[in-house]
Structure 1
Amino acid sequence: MDFALAVLRLRRSTHHQSRDFCSPQDFEILLHSSLGSSKLRTLLQFRTKRNEDPTEAVLRFARRIQGVLSRRAVPIPVYTSTVDVPCSSSFPSPPLICLPLTDLDFDAEKFDKNAEFCNFAHVLNDALNESPSLDLPTRHFVRRIEEWLAIEQRGSLGFLSSLFHLKASAERTRLCVHNPAYDPQLAYFCRSILGQNGSAELRYNSSYLEEAVKQSNKTRAKMIQLDKYDQYQMNPLYGAKHSYKRKIEAPEYYAKGRKIIRIQKATEIKSPKELWELHYPLHKAAFDGDAQRTKMLLAQGWDPNVKDDDTWTPLHYAAFYNKLDVCSELLLHSKIDVNITNKTGITALHFAALNAHEYVVELILTHSRAQTDIKDNTGRTAYDLCANMPKKEWQDVANLLRKRMEPSKIEVHLSSGLTLQVKVNDVKEATAGEVRDQIFAELELDKSAEAIFAIWIMNSRLSLQLNAEQKIMKNIEKWKDYIEKWGDEPSSPHATDDEVRIVFQRDAKTFVRDEEFAVCCHTVIYLLLECKTSNRTKSTFP
C-alpha cells in the first residue's frame, strides 16, 4: 500500500515559544526534489506491507532512521467532504500521514538524500498558484495540510502542544503499579525474557512472598526499561472480601498494620470547563456568541477587562471565534481596554487578523483607542500575522490594517500659530495645490482668495514656497540638499536644525492689487495681518 508522508517541524524561531496559534510561516515541510533539469518537488512516498498499519510503519521507519522513539504519526483526511472525493474512474489518491518533529538537528538526508526542509508558507503559495515546481498530488496535499492545521488549531487551543510536544505513551510510562509475584505466569515470562531461570518452581507462601515480590519488581522494572511493556497495572487486593480458593495467598503485606481509611466521596465534582463557566460567565457568553447575555452581564457590573486562567479577556474570545455582535457590545463599554494582551502579547486585533475575520477587524479599528502597532512576544503586529498569507481573506484584512497604519492627514501651520490636520488621499503623493484647496474648504474661504495664499516648507534656516503641482513630501525628503545649497549659516557651530514645517501663508508673488480685488472675509484679513506681522518681526520683507 502506497501513501504520502508529510514530515512537519516547527521553525527554529518558534520552537521554544508558546503560541496559541501558528500560521504556515511557522512550519517547515520535507520535500523530495527529483533529479534532472525539471527539479520537480514532491512529498515523500512510502510503501507498507499488505494489511499493515501505515502509522506504525512510519514510526518504526522513523525510529530506525533517527535512532530515537518518534512521538506519533497522524493520518490526515485527504478530502474535506464527500463532494471532493474523485469518481470511481479516476485514480485514487494515496492516504496522507503527518509525522511531526521537534528535533531541530534532524538530518533530512537520512530520510531521503534528495530531500530538504522548505518553508511551508512558500510551498503553500506555490500550491495555491498552481506552480509547475510541485506535482499535482503534492499541491492538493499541501492545501489539505494547511486546512487541517487551521481547523484543528481553532478547535482546540492545545492542539499544537499535543501534536509536537506531548511525549509518546511509551516515553510517559515511568511507573508500574502491580504485584508481579501474585501472577506466576507473568513472573515466569519476565524471567525467561531476561535470561534468568524461569523453569524453577515458584512458591508463594508467606515465607517466600517478600523476596519474590522484591525480585519480581526488579524484573518488571527492567522490562519497562527495555520497552517491553507500555503500561501494566494490577490490584492484588481485588476481591479480597469474597470467598475464593486462593484467598489465603492474598498479599497481606500490602496493608499490614495499617488502618482502613474510608474517604467520603464528594457529592459533585465539577470539571475544569464547568468551573471556568462558573468563574467567568462573561467569557462564556463571549465564547458562545450570546450578545444579549453579554449586554446583561456588563449592565450588572462585570468587568470586561478581566483575564481568565489562560489570560484571555472576553474580547479575545469574541475576536478569535468571530462573534461580531459580542464584539460590538464589548466595544461599547466605557471601560473596555481594546489593546489588552494575553500572556503571549496578543491582542484581540491579533486574533481577528490571524483568523481573517474582516468585519471584526474593521469593528475594532473603529474604536478610538485601538492601536495597530502593538507587537506580541515574537515581535509581530496584527498586520504581520496576515500579510504573508496568500489567500484573499487574509489579504483583505491586511489592506484594512495597512490603510489604518498609513497616515492620511498632513499637519499644516497657519501664520497665526494655529495648526490644521488636513485630510488627503495619499500623504506621499499630496501636492501643494491639493492641500491648499483642502484648507480653503475647511476654513470656508472664498475662491477669489486662492491667488493670495500658497503652501510653504520652512525652518529657521530656509523658507521655500511650493508651486501647486509640486509634491510636498518629495521636497521635504530633499530638504538637507536644499539647506546645503540655499540655507543660512547656523546660529552656532553646535546648533541643530529645527524640524521642517508645512505652512499656509501669503504667496510671495502676490501684489497689493490682488489683495484689493479679492473678496476678503474676516478670516482672510486676519491671516494676511498675522503673516505681515510675522514677516516684519523677522525682517524678511516689508
Structure 2
Amino acid sequence: MEVVIAVIRPKPNVITQDYRARLYDILLLDSKTPPGEKVKQSKYLPMLSMNIIEEEPRELVLSHLYKITGAGESGAGIKGERAIQIPCNDQVDLRIQQRESLSRFSLFFVAVNSHDKLNKTFVDQAQHTPGFYQLDYVLEVLNNGSVNFPSPTRSLLAHLERWLHDKHSRPGAAEFLFSQRTDFRIRLTVHNPVFIPSRLAHQNDGSNISDLPTDFQMTANEALAKMLSIEKCDIVKMNPLFGSGLSYVTKANMVVTNKFWDQGIVLPGLRTPSVMEEPKWCDKYPVHDKAAEGDIDGIKALIQRGQHHSKKDSISWAPIHYGAWYGKTDVVSVLLDLGCSPNVSNNNGYTPLHMAAQKGYPLVAKSLLLHRGINVNAKDSSGRTALDICSQAPDRDRRHEEVLQYIREAQMRPSMTIEIFLMDKSSKQLRLPSGHDTTVHQLCLLMLEEFGLPQGTYLDIFTIWTCSPSLQLQLKPDHKPTRELENWNKRTVHMLAGARDEKPVLKWRRNAKISVDREKQLLHPEAIKMLFHEAYDNYINALYPCKDHDVLIFSAILFCIYFGERESSTAKTLLSNERYMKQLVPAVVLKAKGPLINKILKEYNNRDQVIGRERSTFALQKKFISHCHQLTVYGSAFFDGKFIHQTQRTPRSETNVACHIGVNDVGLHIINAQTKVMIHSYTYPEMKGWHEEEFVLEIHILKPESRSRRQQTNIMKIRTKQAGLIVNLMDKMVQMHYQSRNR
C-alpha cells in the first residue's frame, strides 16, 4: 500500500476559529530539475510504501516525516504530534472505481506544532526539497493549474480540505487534532505509580524491581492487575521519575480520578482544581478586544498572525461592530481597509451603520458611507434601516442630525450598477445590493426577478459567467463578480489562457452542471428563449458538430423563426442571399458542403411534417432546443487546447491540433478548431480515468475487451492551460450522476 502523508502546520489559535484554508500550512516536496533541462517542477505530498499487515502505519508515518525533514546527527527533523488515517468518503470511492490506481493510496493526516520549522541547510541539500506552503494558495493553484501536481496529490488534497472543514464543524475536534502528542506530554505529567514495575523491567541503567521495597512491589503488582482487568488498558503511560529518588515537582492542570483506585493513596503536593477556568473573552476574541479599546497596531498585528477581521464572537458581533459601537473611527477605517465588509450584521441584523446611527457617531457613519460596498438601505430583523434608527433615537441630539445628513446624502448618490449580458446580445443593468461585495447568488436572484422566473425551479438553471475572447468561466454562487472582473487581466486570463488585456463581460447563461433531463422539464417562455439563444450561438459557431440532415432541420426551423411563412419562390430568393444563409448555417458547413439552398428549401416546404404545425416563436424555439437535445455535445462547457496526435509511422513524433474541448453530462468531446469536425467523443463509462499533469490533460480510454479478458486502455492527451478546470468539471459531473443514481 502507498501511504500519502498530509503534514499540516496550524497558525496560532486556529482551533478557536471557523475553518479557513489560510489558517494552515501544508508540507509539499518539490523535485529538483537538473540544470539546463526545461522540465516543469512538480510539487507533491510525501509518500512511502508499507505492508499494512506487518507494520504499524502511524509509527512509520511519523518516522518517515522525521527522516524527510532533516533527521540525522543534527536532529533537525520534525516530529509530528500524531498520525491519523483519513477515511475515504463516497466522492473518493467513486473516483477509485473510475481509476483503479488510486485504490492503492491511503491518506494520513499528521499534525505538527505551529512553531515547527524546516532547517534551511537541510532544505538546500535535500534531493526532494521539502517546504511549507499556505493551504489556500495550494488549493488555488490546484484548481487553476498554474503548478503541476500528480493525480494522487490532486485528488487527495481536495479530500483533505473537506475533512478539515468537517472537523472544524464538530466541537472540540480541531482542538484534539492539534493537541500535543501523548508521549511528548508524558514528561510533564504525574502518572499512577502502579506501572513502575513494568517500566523497570525494561530499564538498562542498572535499576531492578528487586531493589524496591517488598510492600511496594506487591502493592504495585496487585493494583496493576486490578486496573488492567477493570479498564482493559492497551497502553500504559507513566512517570519514569517516580520511585527513582530524584526530586521533581508536580504541576497538574487537570486530574481525572480513577474511581476504582484505593482512595487512601494520595500523591503529596498534587492539587486538584475543582473546575477548569473558562478562557476570558479578551483571550478568546483578541481582535474584538483591541477594536473596543481602539488599539489599531494591536489589530494589525493580530490579523498578520492569522486572526480573521470578520470573525463573530459569542453574541454574533464582529470586531467592526465594537469599533462602531464605541465610536472608534480609526478602527472602523482600518478594518474596512483590511477587507471587512461594511454590511456585516449580527443576529439582530444590525450593521455597523445601524450602530453608528443609534449611538450618534457622525465620523464613524461617514467612514462607513464612503466605502464603495456599503448598503445604505440594509434592514435589521425588525425591518428598520439605519436612517429609521437614527431618526427614532430617544436621546436624539445634534450628532444624530449629522448622521442623518450623511445617510440622506449617500441615498441620493447614484446606486452602483453592473451590466449583465444575455446570449441574444441584449443586457440588463442591475443594481449591486451589497456594492462590490455583491455575490453571484444575489445577481441571479435579481435576474430571476427581471424575467419573472420562480426561484425554486430556475435558481440553479442559469448563472453568471465571466467571458472574454480567450476564456469563459462559470462563477460559483459565492463569487463576487466585480472582483472577478478586476482580477481578469491581472491574473485569470493570463494564467488560464495565456492572453492579456482582454475586456471581460458578465453573461447570464445556462449552468453547465445541470443535465439535459433536468432542462427538458422547463416550460417558461423566457427560459426557453434564453436556452434557444445560447444553443443557437453554439450551433452557428459550429460547436455542435452534427449530420447533414440535422443541419437542414435546424436551418428550416431558423428560417421560420426569422422570416415566418413565405412562398416557395420568396423563400428561395431569401436563401440565395449569402448574408441570410450565414444566419441559418455555420460558415464552415457552407464552405465545405457547397450550395445548400435547394435542400433547405425542400425541408422548409415540408415544414408541417418536419417542424410541426405550431408556428409561434415559443414553439419554434422549443423545437430547436428539443432537436439540440439529441446532440451528444449539447450543454457542454467549452475549453481550448491542442490535441496531441502521435503518428503511426514514427510513434515518438507527434502533431498538435488546435481543438475545442466540450464537457457535459454525457462525457468529453474534442472538436477540431479549424474544420469543426468531431475528433473524438467519449462517454464517462468509456473512460477509465483522467488527470492533469504539467498543463496536459490525460484521458484513459477503455479498449474493447480482448481475448485475454484483461482490461486495457489507450491514453489520449490534450495540452491546455485549462486542464485543471476540465478535470474539476468532469469530477463534478460524475459525482452529480453518482448521487442521482443513488437517490
- TM-score, normalisation: structure 2: 0.30
Greater radius of gyration (CA):
1
- TM-score, normalisation: structure 1: 0.39
Which has the larger share of strand?
2
User: Which of structures 1 and 2 has the larger relative contact order (alpha carbons within 8 angstroms, sep 6+)?
Assistant: 2
